[in-house]
Amino acid sequence: MPPVSNAREELARHKQANVMLARVAGSLYWMSRYLERAENQARLIDVNLQLLLDFGHVTDEQLKAHWLPIVRSSGDEALFNELYDTADSESVTEFMTFRTENPNSLVSCISNARENARQVRDQISSEMWEVLNDAYHFILGADAKTVWHEGASAFYDQIKRFSHLFQGITVSTFSRNEGFEFIQFGKYLERADQITRLLDIKYHILLPSASDVGGAVDTAQWHAVLRSASALEAYRRYYVADVFYKKVVEFLIFDDSFPRSLKFCCQEMDHFIELITESSAEAGDRTAIERFRAFLERLNELSVEDIFSQGLHEFLDEAQVEVGSIGGQLYSTYMYFPPVDLQAEIRFHQQQEQQQQQQ
Amino acid sequence: MLFDQYQPEDFFDEMFTSGNEVRPHYHAVGEALNAVSAEEFRNRQTAVEAAFMRGGVTFTVYSDSQGTERIFPFDCVPRVISAEEWDMVERGLIQRLTALNLFLHDIYHEQKIIKDRVIPPQYLLSAKHFRREFMHFEVPKNVYVHICGTDLIRDKDGRYLVLEDNLRCPSGASYMLENRSALKRTFPELFQAAGVRPVDQYPAELLKVLQYCAPAKFRGNDAPNAVLLTPGVFNSAYFEHAFLARQMGIPIVEGRDLLVRDHKVFMRTTAGLVQVDVIYRRIDDDFLDPSVFRADSLLGVPGLVNAYRAGNVSLANSIGTGVADDKVVYYFVPKMIKYYLGEDPILPNVDTYLASEPQDCAFILDNLSKLVVKSANEAGGYGMLMGPWASREEIEAFRKMIEENPRNFIAQNPISLSRHPTWCGEHFEGRHIDLRPYILCGEKIVVTPGGLTRVALRKGSLVVNSSQGGGSKDTWVLKH
């Protein structure tokens, strides 16, 4: 009876596509976050290398003042100081690109993205996997010296291109199921986190020389911030004006339409949170979600002036905490089940077996 | 041109007769390859290797702490099997697996084959993979071995012989599929005139087998939920597990994703616990369930064996099939075919001596330097003595092991495996090959036309295993 068995197979396929292991959701989420992080880091390094070219001759002290806040932004300053004596272009570039000890280096991010993809190799399209695998072999085949001598820009461009390619392929080859929601949620969360860190760098550079505000160096640095967020062109179209720091902050935090602004990312996160909680039977704790909604409300009400009077650094800190805590909450509710206690399971089943034999 | 220097020498060559004529079923391929220059061939060979790397078609070598990823070396010259020859091989494989499944049912039930003294009882009772716990257990649809990989070789006269059966978790089917798709992309022109039977139906057929063997208790309206159970991402065959799961559209799970309650197996999904009906397991018996077998196994699922026993979940392959691919039991397969089917084996075994038979043992010990000695339960080319190529120390070490535990060893005359033109950097040279076809048993037995041809890339070497310098080829079965 071939028709019956065909119908059965169709149903089976349908049924099986609708369940997703919690572990798989977690891997898709981290795959997406790590790749987004790599893209942001690559742009950050590239822009800052180029920025230095505009300054002509710089002293060692200036170099250090330039690079250390960037290392600090990802929270890896202590590790950096353990590994290097001086912060200059070469040491920071190497640290942020090639050092496997640094969990946020490009090598680490791309390896982690690819390793997570490998764990769910059966769930993602071959094309998605191939891009990550390509990126991995690309970065393993490079080293600091060669990159340094043969043009860093081309190298970092290629990293960004892998990320863009991956996102495009994901959109065009991945079914719009739960998995897609976790990938997108991870991407926007990472992006929101990165934009707060990026703005914070400028805060750290700003502090010692507050009197320079509006000067040539200051403007160049704000330029760099915009470019690090791929936002310079979008900013110009929007304001048709010189780069003015308050406008830059306003644009990167509040713009509704630019896909890397904090608000845009938080709104997207909210959208995918809704979808994830809808499609899951797990009735998770809603308090973290309510709290994130409240933060989103605040974003809608605040103005850039409010932020400056609160303190930019303080606001960014707050945003980082909010973004991080909703991520943690969703991860523990939907993407991660605590491992079963294997020994307890073994005892449980052995006892069950004995009881059966006694009956 | 690339064949100008080619010498079949004193071997059975798949492509050339001893008179250096191209065999008829190789004409089309031979002509197409002759139109390619050495440089062009080299370029395409490089391109295909890069494509494998890019696709992550790799296995992991754990010789260092990092675990290096390597591609399974691929040779672009396809191995061709004529339609008539394949017809015989296919019938032989179906016959063999039919007998092996009957044998497994018998020894886990009445054990008639022992009572009728066809196989001495001590061999079965001492077999490492015999699972006494499963005596009188009814496996779904009476299928013990759902997936079988049988290793075939050809001797100096071109006769196909069975070297061994792999009845536990045979691997390599993904390479059969990847090799085909790689060669189609690299050398499309080879296929045009040849008329090659496709292999890409394998995953769909495998899924059909898994669904067919759902537990007797399964009463769902939909098809049963099948999953592939892998040891995890660090297993050297992980690529294959992910590949097959993706091709079948079933979830790939690790032990930690499953949970047993009320003698039922569940997977832990974002939507809560979902029951699993069929498990295509790529984990050996010993590691399946730490509450029954090895307690130190972190890969398995506590309670799985009881769920299986309760008839709530099916396993492919079933537990306890390893008893039939024990190399001592292998010796008796031709007798099984005769006993259960009343037929003569279509595919003969390699002549084998059992060290546990006193006469054979004396012969083996006297001729260690001329024989190939194998331990009964090792795979992958390990635990083997290649007498003619071994050092005196190796021979003496094996002598001691055989004397201590004769049950664990068999010996065979070395077979001069057939050779096949293979790319060696500049031109083609003959290299030894074998063949692993994949046989699926569900409602009926289906053999995928072709299989995995493994090739010993080192000159003169007879070892085709990927862990020891082996590569592989696309394998063609012709339509006519």
Residue B3's nearest CA partner among B18, B16, B17, B12 is: B16
Query: CA separation (Å) from B294 to B38, B302, B346?
Result: 54, 11, 39
Residue B358 lies in a domain: yes
> B269 and A115 in contact by Cβ < 8 A?
no
Q: Angle at Cα B296 formed by Cα B293 and Cα B301, nearest 5°?
A: 60
Outline where B187-310 has alpha helix (H): 188-192, 202-212, 238-248, 285-288, 304-309
Size of interface A-B (CB pairs under 8 A): 130
Residue A20's nearest CA partner among B370, B80, B253 is: B253
DSSP code at position B338: I
What is the SS3 assignment for A200-265?
Answer: HHHHHHHHHHHHHCCCHHHHHHHHHHHHHCCCHHHHHHHHCCCCCHHHHHHHHHHCCCCCCCHHHH
Close Cβ partners of A81 (under 8 Å, ≥ 6 residues apart)? none
Q: Which residues of A96-118 are buried (b: 16+ CB within 10 A; e: fewer)?
A: bbbbeebebbbbbbbbbbbbbbb
DSSP code at position B249: T
Best of A13, A16, A18 to disrupt the B interface (most B CBs within 10 Å) is A16
Close Cβ partners of B446 (under 8 Å, ≥ 6 residues apart)? B205, B439, B440
> A346 and B302 in contact by Cβ < 8 A?
yes
pLDDT score for B377: 75
Query: In angstroms, rounded to a whole number, what is the distance separating the alpha carbons of residues A104 and A84?
Result: 16
Best of A115, A282, A340 to disrupt the B interface (most B CBs within 10 Å) is A340
pLDDT exceeds cutoff 90 at B298: no
- Tokens at B194, concatenated: 């040849």
Mean of pLDDT values over B107-134: 91
> B222 and A12 in contact by Cβ < 8 A?
yes
Contact list in B for residue A340 (CB cut-off 8 A) is 256, 259
- Tokens at B106, concatenated: 């018998």
Best of A13, A19, A276 to disrupt the B interface (most B CBs within 10 Å) is A19
Query: In angstroms, rounded to a whole number, what is the distance separating the alpha carbons of residues B171 and B241?
Result: 9
pLDDT digits (tens, 9 = 90+) for B389-423: 899 999 999 999 999 989 889 999 988 899 999 99
Task: Report chain B's mean pLDDT, rounded to a whole number.
Answer: 92
Q: Angle at Cα B179 formed by Cα B45 and Cα B453, nearest 5°?
A: 100
Q: Which of A21, A137, A282 sits opposite B253 (nearest CB)?
A: A21
pLDDT digits (tens, 9 = 90+) for B65-80: 555 778 889 999 999 9
Divide the 359 residues of chain A into consecutive groups of 10 and give the mean pLDDT of each group. Answer: 47 55 93 97 92 82 89 91 93 94 96 94 93 94 84 93 97 94 97 94 63 72 90 86 87 95 97 87 76 95 93 94 94 83 88 76
Close Cβ partners of B249 (under 8 Å, ≥ 6 residues apart)? A13, A16, A17, B207
pLDDT exceeds cutoff 80 at B61: no
Query: In angstroms, rounded to a whole number, what is the distance separating the alpha carbons of residues B342 and B355?
Result: 28
Interface subset of A 68-127, CB within 8 angstroms of B: 115, 118-119, 121-123, 126
Q: Is A19 on the interface with B (CB under 8 A)?
A: yes
Query: In angstroms, rounded to a whole number, what is the distance separating the alpha carbons of residues B477 and B480?
Result: 9
> B53 and A137 in contact by Cβ < 8 A?
yes
Name which residue leads in pLDDT, B4 or B176. Answer: B176
> A349 and B302 in contact by Cβ < 8 A?
yes
Mean of pLDDT values over B465-475: 86
pLDDT band at B455; cut points 50, 70, 90: very high
Q: Please provide the DSSP assignment of B24-49 as one string.
A: GGGHHHHHHHHTS-HHHHHHHHHHHH
pLDDT score for A278: 82
DSSP code at position B469: T
pLDDT digits (tens, 9 = 90+) for B245-258: 999 999 999 999 99
Close Cβ partners of B108 (under 8 Å, ≥ 6 residues apart)? B131, B134, B135, B136, B137, B144, B320
Mean of pLDDT values over B6-21: 93
Report phi then psi at A280, rounded to 5: -105, 140
Q: What does DSSP say about strands B147-154 and B258-261: parallel, antiparallel, or unpaired?
A: unpaired
Cβ-based neighbour number of residue B9 at 10 Å: 10
Which element (helix H / strand E) includes B266? strand B264-269
pLDDT score for B122: 86
pLDDT digits (tens, 9 = 90+) for B306-336: 999 999 999 999 999 999 988 899 999 999 9
State yes or no: cis peptide before A104, omega within 30 of 0: no
Best of B70, B209, B270, B309 to disrupt the A interface (most A CBs within 10 Å) is B270
- Count structural domains, chain B: 1
SS3 B410: strand
Residue B369's nearest CA partner among B384, B388, B396 is: B388
pLDDT score for A147: 83
Cβ-based neighbour number of residue B345 at 10 Å: 18
Query: CA separation (Å) from B333 to A29, B170, B343, B371?
Result: 51, 18, 12, 21
Residue B398 lies in a domain: yes
Q: Could you tell me the CATH number of the domain that includes residue B377? A: 3.30.1490.270
Distance from CA of B433 to the nearest CA of A (A): 31
pLDDT digits (tens, 9 = 90+) for B139-157: 999 999 999 999 999 999 9
Name which residue leads in pLDDT, A339 or B216. Answer: B216
% residues pLDDT > 90 (chain B): 74
Please answer whether residues B81 and B426 qualify as being in contact, where contact means their C-beta atoms are separated by less than 8 angstroms: no
Domain that holds residue B381: 352-412
Residue A22's nearest CA partner among B252, B269, B254 is: B269
Query: In angstroms, rounded to a whole number, what is the distance separating the alpha carbons of residues B472 and B465?
Result: 9
Residue B460 lies in a domain: no
Query: In angstroms, rounded to a whole number, what is the distance separating the alpha carbons of residues B146 and B285?
Result: 15
Q: What does DSSP say about strands B314-316 and B278-281: parallel, antiparallel, or unpaired?
A: parallel
Contact list in B for residue A348 (CB cut-off 8 A) is 302-303
**Contacts by residues A292-295 (CB-CB < 8 Å, ≥ 24 positions apart):** A292/A266, A292/A322, A292/A325, A292/A326, A295/A266, A295/A319, A295/A322
B473 bridge partner residues: B75, B453
pLDDT band at B222; cut points 50, 70, 90: confident
Query: CA separation (Å) from A169 to A42, A164, A165?
Result: 20, 9, 6
Domain boundaries, chain A: 22-174, 176-338
Which residue from A minimizes the CA distance to B264?
A349
Which residue from B minimizes the CA distance to A114?
B56
